[in-house]
């Protein structure tokens, strides 16, 4: 076990011993990319020789993922829903005309990244996990505008702590009406680096003021899209007094694996689960709200500020009971404290 202060880790990069790499070489035939992936291998070198004209550098041919391995209460190691990350990376690859890493290659690369960095897997009870950042880049040297024929999948592990300091406490979001994250039919639904670079103007502005950024739909600026690098969820009481879990439907947001998991859990608890356009003003009717994602899990929102309209929505000063319960149910599965009824975790034998 590495000498790391696990309990004080935040969402920052800590270099581990090894990364995993696998290259694809192919050619375009009749509009199709045909080629082969080499076997993944481990290396200590965290730098890669890359041509200055590589398509990832010139034209942003890059996609990434984020997933976690957990040391459970029973001492066993679980990787959460890696297959969904593999599928999403394949969709991102298709969206940017890149080679899509096959599911089995993705799995093998993640397992190699874990097995070769076991000393960096945080112990149970510390709140820290081993995060994997799978990265897919275009490596062909090109000046003509178009996709390359060579790609590389790289798995970068890092032990991480909570995304937001203080683990389960409220965060305030601010609306930015001057910067859009993604166009309605653009790449917002894919996990590609360009979306994040495009959002930095808004997110950094929000951080300067001590907040995080809430993105509205870029066409009308009326509906909630996403919470910086996470999906939005709200809790309402419906007309019959039941609990409603509500989350935006939008072509420009990333389909979150965490959000999907929470929706399944919410349905099982008897809540109504609704996925539809959500007007910003509907925040007034919500008793709880949160950002959700692999990094931030469930991060409750206390207030949303909309300076453009001179409005502030106060949601709940403390994390509310419904989202706290959902957060606990999700973490119970991830840490092996509850039965994995949906087969979301792959247990890794040591």
Using CB under 6 A, list all residues that contact ligand COI. Answer: 66, 229, 293-295
343: Cβ contacts below 8 Å, ≥ 6 apart: none
Query: Of 20-28, 108-116, 159-167, 254-262, which segment contacts ligand PLP by CB under 6 A?
Result: 254-262
CA 182 to chain CA centroid, nearest Å: 16
**Under DSSP, is residue 256 helix (H, G, I), strand (E, B) or coil?**
coil
- Residue 231's binding partner, choosing from ligand COI, ligand PLP, none, with beta-carbon cut-off 5 to 8 A by kind? ligand PLP
Closer Cβ to ligand PLP, 33 or 297, answer by number: 297
In the bound state with ligand PLP, the residue whose beta carbon lies nearer, of 112 and 296, is: 296
Does 229 sit near ligand PLP (CB under 6 A)? yes
Is-contact 248 275, C-beta < 8 A? yes
Nearer to ligand COI, 117 or 140 (CB): 117
Short-list 307, 267, 271, 301, CA closest to 287: 301
Residue nearer to ligand COI on the CB measure, 117 or 231: 231
Contacts for 86-90 with beta carbons within 8 Å, 24 or more apart? Answer: 88/190, 88/191, 88/255, 88/257, 89/63, 89/64, 89/65, 89/134, 89/136, 89/191
H helices of 149-255, in order, are 193-208
Give me the least distance between CB of 276 and ligand COI, in Å please. Answer: 23
Q: Of the candidates 90, 231, 247, 334, which one interacts with ligand PLP according to CB under 6 A? A: 231
Q: Candidates 246, 254, 326, 345: give the one binding ligand PLP (CB under 6 A).
A: 254
In the set 257, 266, 280, 326, which binds ligand PLP (CB under 6 A)? 257
Alpha carbons 320 and 328: distance in angstroms, whole number? 12
Interface residue list for ligand PLP (CB under 6 A): 66, 226, 229-231, 254, 256-259, 293-294
């Amino acid at each position: 076990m590495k000498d790391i202060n696990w309990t004080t880790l935040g969402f920052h990069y800590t270099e581990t011993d090894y990364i995993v790499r696998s290259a694809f070489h192919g050619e375009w035939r009749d509009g199709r990319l045909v080629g082969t992936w080499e076997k993944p291998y481990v290396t200590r070198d965290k730098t890669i020789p890359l041509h200055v004209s590589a398509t990832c550098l010139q034209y942003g041919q890059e996609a990434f993922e984020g997933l976690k391995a957990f040391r459970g209460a029973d001492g066993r190691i679980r990787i959460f829903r890696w297959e969904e990350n593999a599928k999403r990376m394949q969709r991102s690859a298709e969206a940017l005309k890149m080679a899509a890493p096959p599911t089995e290659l993705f799995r093998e690369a993640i397992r190699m990244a874990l097995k070769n960095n076991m000393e960096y897997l945080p112990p149970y009870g510390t709140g820290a996990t081993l995060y994997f950042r799978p990265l897919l880049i275009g490596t062909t040297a090109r000046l003509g505008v178009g996709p390359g024929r060579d790609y590389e999948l790289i798995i970068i592990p890092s032990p991480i702590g909570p995304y937001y300091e203080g683990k389960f406490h409220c965060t305030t979001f601010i609306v930015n009406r001057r910067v859009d994250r993604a166009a309605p039919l653009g790449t917002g639904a894919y996990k590609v680096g360009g979306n994040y670079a495009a959002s930095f103007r808004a997110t950094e502005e929000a951080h300067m003021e001590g907040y995080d950024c809430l993105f509205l739909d870029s066409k009308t600026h009326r509906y909630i899209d996403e919470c910086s690098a996470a999906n939005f969820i709200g809790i309402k009481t419906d007309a019959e007094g039941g609990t409603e879990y509500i989350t935006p439907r939008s072509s420009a947001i990333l389909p979150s694996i965490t959000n999907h998991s929470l929706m399944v859990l919410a349905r099982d608890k008897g809540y109504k689960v609704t996925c539809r356009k959500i007007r910003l003003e509907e925040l007034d009717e919500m008793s709880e709200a949160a950002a959700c994602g692999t990094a931030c899990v469930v991060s409750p929102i206390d207030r949303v500020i909309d300076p453009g309209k001179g409005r502030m929505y106060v949601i709940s000063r403390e994390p509310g009971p419904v989202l706290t319960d959902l957060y606990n149910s999700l973490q119970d599965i991830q840490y092996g404290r509850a039965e994995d009824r949906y087969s979301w975790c792959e247990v890794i034998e040591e």
